[in-house]
Structure formats: C-alpha cells, structure tokens
Amino acid sequence: MSKDSLTITDNRTGRTYEIPIQDGAIRALDLRQIKSDEEDFGLMSYDPGYGNTAPCKSAITHIDGARGVLRYRGYRIEELAERSTYIETAYLLVKGVLPQPDRLKMWRHNITVHTMVHENVKKFLNGFRHDAHPMGMLVSTIGALSTFYPEANNVFDRESRRVQIRRLLGKTPTLAAFCYRRSRGLPYVYPDNDLSYTGNFLSMMFKMSERQYRPDPIIERALDVLFILHADHEQNCSTSAMRNVGSSRVDPYSAAAAATAALYGPLHGGANEAVLRMLNEIGHVSRVPQYVAQVKAGEGRLMGFGHRVYKHYDPRARIIKDLAHQVLEVTGKSPELEIAVELERIALEDDFFVTRRLYPNIDFYSGIIYQALKIPTAMFPVMFAIPRMAGWLAHWREFLQDEEQRIARPRQLYVGHEERGYEPTHRRLPSGDDLEETLVSDRI
C-alpha cells in the first residue's frame, strides 16, 4: 500500500476506502465514493468559513503563521519592504518573477499611461449623495469600469487580460483619490504621470492650488512600503471573492468590485479604524494598564492584536511600527503612537497575551500612519484596496490559467423541510420568521 494515502473505514457500512494524499491534502471529491447505500449522494465535508479547505493550488504567497513568515513568490516580505517598490512587487505578484530593468521600465510606463479615467466617471461620482462613504463609491466605480471596456470579458485573451491588469493597477489610485475628493467636496485632481505611483496618489489626494505637488520623500516611501505590505495575503475573504466571482468568467472589473466589497466589511478591511477608536478611548499612556486589565477581565478585545493565521508577531506589523516612527518624525508627535507602543509593551509581557499567542497584527500601527497623513478613517479600507488590487489580479490570472479550476459552486447540507403541500392563506398558522414581519408606516 502506498504511504501517501488515507484509509477510511465507514462504520455505517463497514467498507474501507483508500484515498490518495497529495501536497498534504485529499481531494474532497474522492470522498464522494463513500456512500451509505446506492441511493446516497456520497460523503461531503462540512467546512463553514473554509477553515480547512484549499479551493486551489497557488504559487503566489506563502504564510507560515506559526513562525511569522510571509513571502511573495518566495521573497521574504522584510526584504521586499526594504529593497523593492510597490510597482516592482506588483510585477512580481502578477508575473511570478522580479523584472529585469527594461521590463520594469515598460511595466511602469504601461501602468502609468492608464492612470486617467474616462470623464464620465466624474459624472458618475457626482451622482452620489454628498456624504457617500468613499469605499461604497470605490466599489461602484471599479464595477462601472466594465461598461467602459466591454472587451474585458474576453478573459481567455492574453492580450486583453494584460491590458485590463494594467488599467486596474493604473486607475485604482485615481478612482480612490476621486472618491476622497468627492466626499470632501474638493475638485478632482488629475494624475501627474511625472510622479511615482504613490507620489501621484498623494498628489491626487492632497494637491490644492500649487502648480505641482511635491510629495515628501519619506512619506512617499512610507506609503510605498505600506502598499507592498498590503499587496497580497493569499486566500483571504476578498481574494476568495475575486476568484469565486471571476470563476464565472465575468470581466475583471466586476470581479474586482466584488473583492473590494468584501474588503469593505469590518472583519476584513476595517480593523485599523477600530484600533484608532480604542487608542482614543484609552486617551493617555497612564491609562494603558487599566485598559489591559479590562481586556483581561473579558471586557472587549485589544484591537489590532491576534490573528487567525499568525500565532507569532505578524511580520508586517514589525515593519509598520518602524514606518510609523519615521512618518511621525515628519508629521509631528502623535499621542496615539505613544499609547500604542506602551500597550504593546505591556501586553507582550503579560501572561494572558503570551499564552494565547496574541501579537500585534498589520492593523495595529497602520491607522496611526494614515491618521498622521491626514487620511480620514472612512478612507482606511480604500487605502487597503489600492495595493491589494495587485494581489487580486495575480490570483485572477492564476485562476484563469489553472486547468483544474471550474466555476465556484459549493455544495450545502440541506436541513430544511421535506416536500410539503401549498396551503391557502386562511389555513396558515403564524410561525418563525413570519412573526417578525410587522406593518411599517407608509409615511417615510
């Protein structure tokens, strides 16, 4: 018998099955042969939240949560943060290799020429209410791009794919900055293609009446590093949305709009906002011990601490902490940073956090940096979406090139009624959700 297999005995029937193990996994479909009788559909695995299900093979990002390791295409995140740029890292994620100098130049050029958006996008944005959330606007405008590029639904056309990837990387910062300017009632600032990727983004966000916006080089580089750190994180909620929606072979703008929508949720892209709220609630370094005691007593959680995958210091958090100090050297002191540093110091020495392996995650310091850059909290998920576009596109491309992939169509365990007859209205008894329906006033 081969060693790379699993022997399963079905105690319902006494039958034994041998299931191959490949890359540390069994194929879920191999379970289907396990049946209680001829009529049986076959065994399935039940896995809400996909906690132990690999829907794909991927060569993009590797995380070793126990050791605190994160690598893009084999390169350590620490090394990329120190030596690479976001544009280069995006190339690495999408294409799988670090570019040679001429390729990098072409890639940068090919993205930069796509930073402009159709003038109608401005009209579209102007249709939103004055207080529309920038992330809600971003979701819609990314989706709306599909109407400008109908050829994008040729997802198996390599050249079309290349163009859409460049467009999405080029236009996302523009859309993001336009959403911000719209929410502030400020005039839109067109891209400045003489600036770097992040320099141009800062210009579109903050340029006022000056002839040319000149970003502070420390801030520009800090943002570039933040973008590198946020560029991918393997099969998270939004990346899975990109893959799942893309599996219907819809154009990448529609799939990226779905991924952006997934990132909008507070459990995914919104934790750094919660960190800032917590630091403001603590208010002063002297109140940190009291706050930690409350958390230990079960009154809330330490936001920005703990991670489903990392049971070690999140490697991104370490880099972001240094960045926060660098940025604040330029922007001035922040009481929030002082509180955060003290909070981290006390928590990392405390048995409660040590035994539960709770360490700062990427969100612990990122909000402090965004706040120092005068980026409002509503923009935080948008700041996440811009760099994550590279990861989404890398996964979308990998998905389409993977011959094993099919349209995502999970199974379910049906636990509802057996077949029942339709009853006339007067014979129905009130029950369940029916009772929740009450009459609302029609004078809204």
Tokens of 27: 């194929």
Tokens of 39: 């009529």
367 binds ligand CMC (CB under 6 A): no
Q: Name which of 125 and 347 has its Cβ closer to ligand CMC.
A: 347
Which pairs with CB-CB distance under 8 Å and at least 24 residues apart come from 9-12?
Answer: 10/34, 10/36, 10/43, 12/36
Among 69, 306, 334, 350, indicate the residue that binds ligand CMC (CB under 6 A). Answer: 306
Q: Name which of 299 and 437 has its Cβ closer to ligand CMC.
A: 299
93 binds ligand CMC (CB under 6 A): no
304 binds ligand CMC (CB under 6 A): yes
Give just the sign of the alpha carbon dihedral 139, 142, 144, 147.
negative
Residue 62 φ then ψ, to 5°: -120, 130
Among 57, 162, 277, 308, indicate the residue that binds ligand CMC (CB under 6 A). Answer: 308
What residue type is assigned to position 333 of the chain?
Answer: K
Distance between CA atoms of residues 290 and 150, nearest Å: 57
Among 12, 301, 333, 411, indicate the residue that binds ligand CMC (CB under 6 A). Answer: 301
Alpha helices, DSSP H only, in 46-157? 77-83, 86-95, 101-112, 119-126, 134-148
Chain positions 207 to 236 lying near ligand CMC, rule: CB under 6 A, are: 233, 236
**Only segment of 154-162, 166-174, 330-338, 360-368 that touches ligand CMC (CB under 6 A):** 360-368
Binding mask 188-207 for ligand CMC (x = CB under 6 A): --------------------
Residues with a catalytic annotation lie at 268, 307, 363
- Provide, rounded to whole angstroms, the least separation between the CB of residue 156 and ligand CMC: 31
109 binds ligand CMC (CB under 6 A): no
Distance between CA atoms of residues 385 and 402, nearest Å: 25
Q: Name which of 303 and 320 has its Cβ closer to ligand CMC.
A: 303
What residue type is assigned to position 373 of the chain?
Answer: L
Q: Which residue has the tokens 């409660």?
A: 352
Residue 127: exposure state from Cβ atoms within 10 A (0-12, 13-18, ≥19) = exposed
- CB 362, CB 233: distance < 8 Å: no
Among 356, 402, 410, 411, indicate the residue that binds ligand CMC (CB under 6 A). Answer: 356
Distance between CA atoms of residues 396 and 243, nearest Å: 6
Distance between CA atoms of residues 1 and 7, nearest Å: 10
**E strands, 267-347, in order:** none
Among 204, 219, 295, 375, indicate the residue that binds ligand CMC (CB under 6 A). Answer: 295
307 binds ligand CMC (CB under 6 A): yes
**Only segment of 124-132, 192-200, 304-312, 403-411 that touches ligand CMC (CB under 6 A):** 304-312
- CB 385, CB 269: distance < 8 Å: yes
Q: Name which of 308 and 345 has its Cβ closer to ligand CMC.
A: 308
288 binds ligand CMC (CB under 6 A): no
239 binds ligand CMC (CB under 6 A): no
Q: Name which of 136 and 270 has its Cβ closer to ligand CMC.
A: 270
**Only segment of 55-63, 95-103, 153-161, 301-309 that touches ligand CMC (CB under 6 A):** 301-309
Distance between CA atoms of residues 267 and 48, nearest Å: 16
273 binds ligand CMC (CB under 6 A): no
What residue type is assigned to position 113 of the chain?
Answer: V
Q: Which residue has the tokens 């706050």?
A: 291
**Only segment of 25-33, 96-104, 109-117, 357-365 that touches ligand CMC (CB under 6 A):** 357-365
55 binds ligand CMC (CB under 6 A): no
34 binds ligand CMC (CB under 6 A): no
Distance between CA atoms of residues 16 and 218, nearest Å: 64
Residues that bind ligand CMC (CB under 6 A): 233, 236, 268, 271, 295, 301-308, 356, 358, 361-363
